[in-house]
Amino acid sequence: MNDTILILGACGQIGTELTQKLRKIYGDQQVIASDIREGQKEFLNSGPFEIINAMDKDAILEVVKKYKVTQVYLMAAMLSATAEKVPLKAWDLNMQSLLHVLELAKDMHIKKVYWPSSIAVFGSTSPKINTPQQTITEPSTVYGISKVSGEHWCNYYHNKYGVDVRSLRYPGIISWKTKPGGGTTDYAVDIYFKAKEEGAYECFLGEDTNLPMMYMEDAINATIQIMQAPQENIKIRTSYNLAAMSFTPKVIAEEIQKYIPEFKITYAPDFRQEIADSWPQIIDDTPAREDWGWKHAFDLELMTKEMLRNIQPTTNELLKVL
Ligand code: SER
């Protein structure tokens, strides 16, 4: 394996764990982490790190040349809830960064590109149950508009210029190492931290809001698996539906209560409810399973055990106990 990988947005929720896993597979020096600012120290020290603004094409090209980068994972993006507050800024970041990377691939500076899409490409006119790979995509959020447009750009660069770009429509991703920022599905991460630290959580979505979700380990495995799959297995160049589980805030709370019986959840839906209501509830990811062998490992039960085992009480909590 002679690949050298650049990760843009390496300090984010997915970027952090993706960098760690790719360094294990390809070697620390072969994986260049980059972000607009520095992130966790231990992780920066485990291999090369560069400050890059993903909207600066020259800066990306400079690092690509410096390390002879062959693959780029573009993980920098503004998520759904934040993007609604600054729509044009979100559009600029999410689109420009993608077009820069696709252009670099078109001009043969890099060989392969990974770019994440999202369940946010779907809107209220899409089927909500078993949402198929190909269906109506009329998103109501600026994040969704940027993702559906990005998918078409990926497909266009592949068909027109032969760019090897691969993409997944992530559901909500749940992790304990790095928290997400600005997403509508973030409640499903916050709830575990609050359950462990305070024994109570006020949820910004209503109790019956069913959304597709996935544990981080599965998301990372899917990402690396699609990137390592033989070219001929990648039959969809917009973005693949990807699924593992779906649950509501009420159901996840009940699962947590199995381990923390005194855990209390209350509901105070805000503007994010409308976003969640426009998204699918259960995704059909048959093509990903058939084309390149996708298989998830974590369900709600297993994920809850992992999350609660790994989240440590904060220092404040420790002090209270002592
Ligand atoms: N998790 C993302 C969000 O909530 C969806 O891709 O914005």
The string of pLDDT tens digits covering residues 160-191 is 999 999 999 999 999 999 998 899 999 999 99
Closest CA to 95 of 32, 137, 151: 151
Q: Which pLDDT tens digit goes with each residue over 223-243?
A: 999 999 999 999 999 999 999
118 lines ligand 1 (CB under 6 A): yes
Task: List the residue whose alpha carbon is closest to atom 1 of ligand 1.
Answer: 172
Encoded amino acid at 23, one letter:
R
What is the number of the ligand 1 atom nearest to the C-alpha of 170? Answer: 6
Q: Which of 160, 74, 158 is nearest to 117 (CA)?
A: 74
The answer to whether the CB of 13 is under 6 A from ligand 1 is: no
> Parallel, antiparallel, or unpaired for β 5-8 and 164-166?
unpaired
Check if 192 is active-site: no
- H helices of the chain, where? 13-26, 41-45, 57-67, 80-85, 87-106, 142-161, 187-197, 216-228, 249-257, 272-278, 286-292, 300-310, 315-321
pLDDT, averaged across the chain: 95
Q: Which of 73, 114, 143, 192 is catalytic?
A: 143
Burial 164-183 (b: 16+ CB within 10 A, else e): bbbbbbbbbbbbbebebebb
- Centre of ligand 1 to C-alpha 255, Å, is 22
- pLDDT tens digits, 72-119: 999 999 999 999 999 999 999 999 999 999 999 999 999 999 999 999
pTM of the shown model: 0.96
Average pLDDT over residues 252-279: 98
Distance 79 CA to ligand 1 centre (A): 6
Determine the distance separating the centroid of ligand 1 and the alpha carbon of 297, expressed in angstroms.
Answer: 21
Ligand 1: does its nearest atom lie under 6 Å from the Cβ of 279? no
Q: Rounded to an integer, what is the distance from CA 292 to the centroid of its chain? A: 19
Burial environment of residue 141 by CB neighbours within 10 A (0 to 12, 13 to 18, 19 or more): buried
pLDDT of the residue at 314:
66
What is the Å distance from ligand 1's center to 169 Cα? 10
Q: Give yes or no for residue 184 CB within 6 A of ligand 1.
A: yes
User: Which ligand 1 atom minimizes the distance to the CA of 180?
Assistant: 1
Q: How far is CA 60 from the centre of its chain?
A: 21
Is the minimum distance from the CB of 120 to ligand 1 under 6 angstroms?
Answer: yes
Between the two ends of the chain, the Cα-to-Cα distance in Å is 50
pLDDT value of residue 322: 44
Q: How deeply is 3 buried, as exposed, middle or buried, from its count of CB atoms within 10 A (0-12, 13-18, 19+)?
A: middle
What pLDDT, in 10s, does the model give residues 11-23? 999 999 999 999 9
Residue 108, both tokens: 């043969």
Residue whose CA is at the smallest distance from ligand 1 atom 6: 118
CA of 184 to the centre of ligand 1 (A): 5
